[in-house]
Structure 1
Amino acid sequence: MTKPIEIRNPRTGKLDYVIIPPPPKLLSQQCHRMRRGQIAWEEIGIQIRIEALQQWKQAILAERQNITDALVNDTGRLSVSILEIDTFLNSIDRWCNLAPQLLQTTAKNTSIPFIALRQTAVPYTLVGVISPWNFPLLLSTIDTIPALLAGCAVIVKPSEITPRFVAPLMTATNTVPLLRDVLNFVEGAGQTGAALIEDVDLICFTGSVETGRFVGEAAARNFIPSFLELGGKDPAIVLESADLDLATSAILWGSVVNTGQSCLSIERIYVAEAIFEEFYHQLVTKAHRLQLAYPTVESGEIGPIISENQAAIINEHLQDAISKGAVIHSGGKIEELGGGWWCRPTVITEVNHSMKIMTEETFGPIMPIMPFSTIEEAINLANDSIYGLSAAIFADPPELALEIGMQIDVGAISINDAGLTFMMQEGEKNAFKFSGLGGSRMGAASLKRFLRKKAFLIKTNTNKDPWWFHDEE
């Protein structure tokens, strides 16, 4: 018998929700049922699958208020929850438009005149998705949607920190008969996730490097692919030629949206010495304008820290920086309000790479700023990290930023903006270093991750092949 898990409300600190993980045997049975369902799901073809996902979208729209309320209770924030739902709904349409072309069978001639090639692909039968707590709906479905359209069945294990959205989402899902047997969300913690890896054919994981390593090792033991989207410590580089008003506004948003609880948050900022003072003064002024979403979710832009453990990490990083000489210009501490943990947008100077706040993932609304004297120094500082997820570069002309970006060891770079991979998912990218492993989650390549390529080599004449053994006369 699995034990119930009590769930903390990030705004009140109270344990006000309970989930009951499925016993391993039941989880295994669910996976076997979904494998059977996948056969028909693949056979109905892409057009019927698109119709099913469009029905799902309509069902979600009908259930939208309940899903929104659940996300607000999960995360303590409203505006980002609305944006999260909109992005999710838009992604259904985007993938439905892209999928038919991506799934076409192609035929072509080969280097051998009498051998034709027909290239196709078949879906993995059952895809497992293990998703994190910072964007509960979006990150549990970002892999799910293309996998379903590819013809896979998908079972999702969201974070046990933010599970409330699952119930209204499954209410919507269960109104679409074709999806009932090929899409399921299961509740549970790490033990459930570990059990899930044993029953699927491919695993997508989003989370920490530490847990991602365990997921990758477990997948390797089972000879199944793993796609790992892990941590980040994204740098921003601001050159003297940059538009400072634009740069400070973009970096502020890229650093503190969703209270900085995003792997693509800007977590370290390198600014040319000549504009350093003006830059951080502008950033501080703009940071002070943002308010906490307290006492109500409409009170401000900055929501609570969702995970209590993360609040402790943010506090540890701040105290480490202060003890080593960092100077706080705004925010700078963890506050307890109404039982929840909060952190105001925090601008810090006098920082260096001996501090955790410049080298470890903070996952909070923290903006540490260092000056640099040469472009080469800025590039070296940006690359001085175990992470390589994304970055931002501000310069005029943009070609200069692009030239610098070619030397930054990350998978996606926003030019004269920040956090663009959150808003636009067309660009294919890989995670560098410890930020992940596997094919691109963005762009058309994302759907193709869920397909195994299959080649038909077709002899087109009745002649004997020249490489066969010669028959004796």
Structure 2
Amino acid sequence: MKQYLMNINGKWVGEELESLDVINPASNKKIGTVPIGGKEETTKAIDAAYVAFESWSKRTAYERTACLKRLHGLMLEHQEELAQIMTLEMGKPIKESRGEVNYAATFIEWFAEEGKRVYGETIPSHADNKRLQVWKKPVGVVAAITPWNFPAAMLTRKMGPALAAGCTVIIKPSSESPITAIKLMELCEEAGFPKGVINLVTGSSSKIAKTIMENPKVRKITFTGSTEVGKILIRQSADQVKRLSLELGGHAPFIILDDATIDKAVAGVMASKFRNAGQTCICANRIYVQSGIYDAFLEKFAKAVKKLNVGDGTNESVDIGPLINRAGLDKVSNHVKDAVSKGASVVTGGEPITNEGGVFYAPTVIGDVKPSMIMMQEETFGPVAPVQKIETDEEAIKLANDTPYGLAAYLFTENVARGTQVIEQLNYGIVGWNDGAPSAAQVPFGGMKESGIGREGGHEGIDAFLESQYVSIGMN
């Protein structure tokens, strides 16, 4: 059994600390251990990043780009190793894990180039004896707190722009899937990042986060996780006015209007809903289908879902892996039971699967769904697709917006004018129009309302790690 370590100031440490078991949810077997770091280790990581910031921020954009490009190449070179680690520690099917590694690498590549395009401004002056300029400066030490469900991509989406901007980083990966981040840290070393520029701490989320939030040397937090935790971070950030980027919970509506191509809509829902066993923040959670095509859609959709193969993600033929833990399974089961008790019908699936001690739930389609059911009010985070019949575009818009969340939404219609008018009224940061997989490195990713603050990816992704400094130059 391998004992993995933390990395602070260029050294692998934590061997003497108590350890945390990392469990494969497909088999319930331990695959390794990581140290339980706390206040002392986090403080050392912050101090190392603070010292390293002085020299790293002064390096040219081209020097920082060179390190990032080496990391990009190493990620692709080690794609299979990273994918296997990811599948073992959090259950994602191996073909999805390979895809995530490639996706994660695109953020490193994108921001390696974007770092060379951090432009200031020269502003026309109001007086002939002044010159007005805006300079861009890295915000400082950044703490990146990442979730378990995309252990590579959520890290590179934060780390890439921070490093390209000239910031230094402390990484806190999820305790459910920390080994992927540790392997990426090894590749960062190999890529030649100086000591202290990137530090990785594992262990108690509450203790590590508390230390980060209380330490004035940390100027920015970038976090992906639940809205509840995001609100705690907002409150904790107030005393020092730390900068925040928050990508929080979602409850994505998937609207299918009666002029949609049904086969295209089915393919779109399949791509959105069942990736990572439905454990994604932008997956379809509420499917609204106009009555004219409701029955035809439901029949084709259920037929496609029945073909999904459930099992251990290391098997190349598996489409749906396990849920992350028993609590996740219980939540999914309770949501389905609630819907059935209130009149919904199980079209296919609807039960846990007993499989070698793992945590599996059958891919499920629920029909005759009503807005009062829990799964239409809360994010299920599992392979369950509730389908509700709607009559009008206006009803679809009203139901879609009836939530405190606003991360992602989907719309399937072949009518451009109709689609434009619906999307203009959807309060979501991301919309997939006839597209069930809208994510990409070059576009802004983030939500409205309680789904977050700021955007990741695209040129906006690096802006979040920069300060604008206005300089007025007197010429007398």
Structure with greater Cα Rg: 1
1:73 aligns with 2:88: yes
Q: Deviations over 1:189-229 (max 9, x none)?
A: 32223322333210011111111111111112232011111
Check 1:179–1:365 CA distance in 2 against 1; reply closer, same or farther (3 A cut): farther
Amino acid at match of 1:18: T
The equivalent residue for 1:141 is 156
Quick one: which amino acid aligns to residue 341 of structure 1? V
The answer as to whether partners of 1:74 and 1:162 remain within 8 angstroms in 2 is yes
Say whether the 8 Å CA contact 1:233–1:361 is kept in structure 2.
Answer: yes
For residue 92 of structure 1, what is the aligned residue in structure 2?
Answer: 108
What is the 5 A alignment of 1:178-327?
178-190=193-205, 191-199=207-215, 200-294=218-312, 296-327=314-345
CA drift of 1:3 comes to 3.8
Q: 2: distance between equivalents of 1:105 and 1:383? A: 38
* Structure-2 residue corresponding to 1:457: 472
Say if 1:204 and 1:226, in contact at 8 Å, map to a contact too: yes
Kindly provide the CA deviation profile for residues 305-333 of structure 1, in whole angstroms up to 9, marking residues without a partner as x: 12332111111111111111110111112
Structure 2 regions of 5+ residues with no counterpart? Answer: 1-15
Q: How far apart in 2 are the matches of 1:98 and 1:206?
A: 22
Deviation at 1:138, TM superposition (A): 0.8
Instruction: Please give the alpha-carbon distance, in whole angstroms, between the structure 1 residues aligned to 2:21 and 2:30.
Output: 6
Are the structure 2 counterparts of residues 60 and 430 from structure 1 closer, same or farther at C-alpha, using a change threshold of 3 Å?
closer
TM-score, normalised relative to structure 2: 0.92
Within the candidate set 335, 343, 346, 2:361 is matched to 343
* Letter matched to residue 105 of structure 2: L
- Counterpart amino acid of 2:54? I
CA distance in 2, matches of 1:411, 1:455: 30
- Checking the alignment, whether the CA contact within 8 Å between 1:297 and 1:303 is kept in structure 2 is no
Distance 2:261 2:451 in 1: 30
TM-score where L is the length of structure 1:
0.93
- C-alpha displacement of 1:296: 4.9
- CA shift in 2, pair 1:179/1:16, >3 Å: same
Is contact 1:80-1:258 (8 Å) kept?
A: yes
Identify the residue that residue 452 of structure 2 maps to in structure 1. Answer: 436
Q: 2:182 maps to which residue? A: 167
RMSD of aligned residue pairs (Cα, Å): 1.7
Shift of 1:430: 4.4
For 2:314 and 2:109, the matched residues in 1 are separated by 33
Looking at structure 2, the residues matched to 429 and 162 of structure 1 have their Cα atoms a distance apart, in angstroms, of 22
C-alpha contact (below 8 Å) 1:2/1:20 kept by paired residues: yes
Q: Does the CA contact (< 8 Å) of 1:235 and 1:270 recur in 2?
A: yes
Query: 2 CA distance for matches of 1:2 and 1:352?
Result: 50
Q: Matches of 1:267 and 1:67 in 2, distance apart? A: 29
Q: Which one of the candidate residues 98, 106, 120 is aligned to 1:82?
A: 98
Aligned residues: percent identity?
Answer: 28
Partner of 2:7: none
SS in structure 2 at match of 1:142:
helix
| Deviation, structure 1 residue 109 | 1.4
Q: 1:106-125 residue pairs with structure 2 within 5 A?
A: 106-125=121-140
Q: Secondary structure at the match of 1:107?
A: strand
* Mapping 1:9-24, distance limit 5 Å: 9-24=24-39
Matched position secondary structure for 1:86: helix
Q: Decide whether the 8 Å contact of 2:26 with 2:313 is kept in 1.
A: no
Aligned-pair CA distance for 1:133: 0.6
Distance 1:57 1:416 in 2: 31
Distance 1:454 1:308 in 2: 49
Q: Is the 8 A contact 2:38 2:203 kept in 1?
A: no
Contact (CA 8 Å) 1:291, 1:344: kept in 2 or not? no
1:445 alignment counterpart: 460
Aligned residues: 457
Measure how far apart 1:8 and its partner are: 1.9
Distance 1:427 1:250 in 2: 19
Q: Distance in 1 between matches of 2:455 and 2:83?
A: 29
1:368 and 2:383 equivalent? no
Shift of 1:114: 3.0
Of residues 300-309 and 134-143 in structure 1, the stretch that sits farther from structure 2 once superposed is: 300-309
Distance 1:322 1:257, change over 3 A: same
Paired residue for 1:471?
none
Instruction: Give, in angstroms, the shift of residue 62 of structure 1.
Output: 4.3
Structure 1 residue 425: Cα displacement: 3.6
Shift of 1:39: 1.0
Distance (whole Å) between structure 2 residues aligned to residue 60 and residue 83 of structure 1: 12
- Matches of 2:242 and 2:116, distance apart in 1: 26
Give how far 1:144 is off.
Answer: 0.8
SS at match of 2:458: coil
